[in-house]
Chain A
Amino acid sequence: MTVSGVALLAISTLLGVFIGDLLGLALNVKANVGGVGIAMMLLIAARVWLTRHGGMPSGIKLGVEFWATMYIPIVVAMAAQQNVVAAMRGGPMVVITALSTVALCFAAVALIGRHGRDRKHEVEVEPELERGGKVIAGAFQPGDPEHAIAVAREV
């Protein structure tokens, strides 16, 4: 049943956001602390549990992956509702701060992203990564190979 996949996704999201709100409350912050990240971990845990207990029903997979394939269109809609006018009119201080922050953070990514790279492992997981990328890009074809490695390997 496709809707069970959508429901699984919805439950993970609701639970994650709720825990994020609780964390915010506990830390006395007026914001959600990592709710979406926690929801992602819950969904990953659900996937691992399902694959271990008799495989992944195709309905669940379809229900979740449909929303993953909608990711880029949703991001485009998100871009279309940013306050770009305000961002452009910010004045020199805003421009200087934003530009130098981004430049500095890019440089930091270059530095720490390189730390402890494991090329051999990367080559091993490449097919699975490629498949994930195709799903998120909305370019996954029904005939393409499935989670071949993820299923075979113990996680």
Chain B
Amino acid sequence: MLHMIEHVFKEQNLVAAFAVIGAVMWLSLAISKRFTAGRVHGSAIAILMGLALAYAGGLMTGGQKGLADVPVFAGIGLMGGAMLRDFAIVATAFEVDVVEARKAGLLGVLSLGLGTILPFIVGVAAALSFGYSDAISVTTIGAGAITYIVGPVTGAALGADSTVIALSIATGVLKAVIVMVGTPFVARMIGLDNPRSAMAFGGMMGTVSGVAGGLAATDPKLVPYGALTATFHTGIGCLVGPSIFYLGMRALMG
């Protein structure tokens, strides 16, 4: 019996993922209503639950893809993978107020620039204070603070050590997780309640998964504005990481 259920889950993996995620969403909404009187967004709880499931899945399988590495939940990997995620993000653009987005365009560009430079400086400072002294390692760790894709792309381009690349990925992933979980708590403090600041937020925080999760948990109406700028972040990071940033670091460190 159990074996047969397992078989159905494996064979119909995407459909099973819809059911599992549906159950997680339903449970989260119920928790939000009953225990927090709606003060904590249902989506915020659902994302936390997702992360907790990812942690459990990672411990169970020792894999890198959280719950999706458990064979019966493999469909989660397809449902939450880059393809459908990007598809859904693009769909949210249908709800964008064009005037608002155009007006905040310059702000988005400014935040993209700052959002690439500031994390890099923090990453470089941390790498230096933890004893890394060669330009390649320092640049790779700094790039990891931009997003978890910029780190390994930069590291691979520069020929960095694999442990250093692993550290840069871990930094980027942790950054994404903190953004997902932390955004709803600081949203009011940083004025994240309108399209303008959402566009600044997207460019500043960078990580698409972090921004996608953080805004969904804060206020769904801000999602498309943040996503619009955030999706440029990784590309820009990969552009400047192995080039300008590395040359700059090499010039500074001799």
Contacts and interface: CB of A to CB of B under 8 A. Distances in A.
Contacts of B88: 67-68, 70-71, 74-75
B88 to A, nearest CB: 4
A81 interface: yes
Contacts of B54: 79-84
B231 A37 contact: yes
Interface string B54-94: 11011100001111100001001101110011111111111
Contacts of B97: 125, 128-129, 132, 150
A125 B100 CA distance: 8
A40 B89 contact: yes
A74 B85 contact: yes
Contacts of A93: 126-127, 130, 141, 167, 171
A80 B68 CA distance: 7
B67 to A, nearest CB: 4
B123 A101 contact: yes
Nearest to B101: A44
Interface residues of A, number: 95
A35 B234 CA distance: 10
A46 B119 CA distance: 35
Interface in A113-152: 113-118, 121-122, 125, 128-137, 150
A125 B103 CA distance: 13
A97 B126 contact: yes
Contacts of B180: 79
Interface string A39-63: 1110110011000000000000100
Contacts of B216: 71-72, 75, 136
A61 to B, nearest CB: 8
B115 A79 contact: no
B167 A90 contact: yes
Contacts of A35: 86, 231, 235
Contacts of B179: 102
Most buried by B among A68, A82, A131: A82
Contacts of B177: 82, 84, 87
B99 interface: yes
Interface in A61-111: 61, 64-68, 70-102, 104-110
A79 B50 contact: yes
B76 A80 contact: yes
A10 interface: yes
Given A35-B231, A65-B91, 17 more contacts: A30-B238, A32-B234, A35-B86, A64-B94, A68-B94, A72-B216, A73-B18, A74-B85, A76-B43, A78-B209, A80-B68, A83-B64, A104-B118, A105-B118, A109-B197, A125-B97, A137-B220
Interface of A: 9-10, 12-13, 16-17, 20, 23-24, 27, 29-37, 39-41, 43-44, 47-48, 61, 64-68, 70-102, 104-110, 112-118, 121-122, 125, 128-137, 150, 153, 155
Interface of B: 17-18, 21-22, 24-25, 43, 46-47, 49-51, 53-55, 57-59, 64-68, 73, 76-77, 79-81, 84-101, 103, 107, 110-111, 114-115, 118-119, 122-123, 126-127, 130, 141, 144-145, 149-150, 153, 156-157, 166-167, 169-171, 173-180, 182, 186, 189-192, 194-197, 200-201, 204-206, 208-209, 212-213, 216, 219-224, 227-229, 231-232, 234-236, 238-239
